[in-house]
Amino acid sequence: MSVHNEVKRITTSVIRKMKAEGKKISMLTAYDYSMAKIFDEAGMDIILVGDSAANVMAGYDTTLPITLEQMIYHAASVVRAAKRSMVIADLPFGTYQGSAEKALDSAVRMMKESGVQGVKMEGGIEIEQAIRGIVNAGIPVMGHLGLTPQSINQFGNFGLRAGNETEAHKLHEDCLALQTAGCFGIVLEKIPAKLAKTVTDQLLVPTIGIGAGPHCDGQVLVMHDLLGINKGFKPKFLRLYLNLFDEIQGAVSSYINDVKSGSFPNEEEQY
């Protein structure tokens, strides 16, 4: 951002300060220019270009098929709209697991070709080296633990994570490893609220919860869920702010009726 621009971008240091001052962090997904513009102007702190684009934009059952090129396309569209919000993009499945060099290449491509301010990666201790390499290159990384949709085939379901003592202990260790590796924040998805509070109290970096209770430093939702575009999806953690599926369908049905009846366009709607 230009130093002459009056809109101040949310940065990792602002996010860190928000945790220190007990100010909650708002985060929401977006995948295109028009929605991102609305969210940016509404005052969203972080816009996440999630690989949930695979589900809500492309209609896949899982997030696995989306490619780095497709994520870059979505991320660049969001970046063109966001003047104040920090924009973070998911590194998709297969672009960072198993090789720190490959992970750095993927993160560098995302930064260069989309203009986002950071990347998000799913996993704990097993991707610690990859995170270190990316952070050392000057790229902010947000971690993601708990329900990690890129590993759905390992777990077999989208249920609660870290619900027993062994898994809770592993999640706790993973949080500390991600913080030490340099993550500036960690998404906690679908874990018990009590566990989220314990790790949030212990960590210096903020936690952003989705289905992880009220004690996280911030909250994130998928925009289609919050706006009621994803009609059948009603998990316990979701608060519906609109019923956009019905609203849009109502408007579109009226348009169809008006075209069919010949009442659109009318006298004023022509040249």
- Residues annotated as catalytic are 189
Asked if 225 touches ligand KIV (CB under 6 A), the answer is no
List 40, 47, 50, 117, residue binding ligand KIV (CB under 6 A):
50
Nearer to ligand KIV, 90 or 174 (CB): 90
* CA gyration radius, the chain: 20
Asked if 223 touches ligand KIV (CB under 6 A), the answer is no
Asked if 52 touches ligand KIV (CB under 6 A), the answer is yes
Nearer to ligand KIV, 179 or 219 (CB): 219
Q: Is 132 exposed, middle or buried (0-12, 13-18, 19+ CB in 10 A)?
A: middle
Nearer to ligand KIV, 240 or 252 (CB): 240
Give yes or no for a contact between 174 and 202, defined as CB atoms under 8 angstroms apart.
no
Per-residue mark of binding to ligand KIV, 121-150 (x: CB under 6 A):
-----------------------x------
CA–CA separation, 152 and 16 (whole Å): 31
Cβ atoms within 10 Å of 233's Cβ, excluding its own? 14
Asked if 210 touches ligand KIV (CB under 6 A), the answer is yes
Question: Near ligand KIV by CB under 6 A, which window of 37-45, 50-58, 123-131, 257-265?
Answer: 50-58
Give yes or no for a contact between 68 and 109, defined as CB atoms under 8 angstroms apart.
yes
Q: 129, 124, 70, 66: which is closest to 102 by C-alpha?
A: 129
Three-class SS state of 186? strand
Site residues (vs ligand KIV, CB under 6 A): 29, 48, 50-52, 90, 144, 187, 210, 220, 222
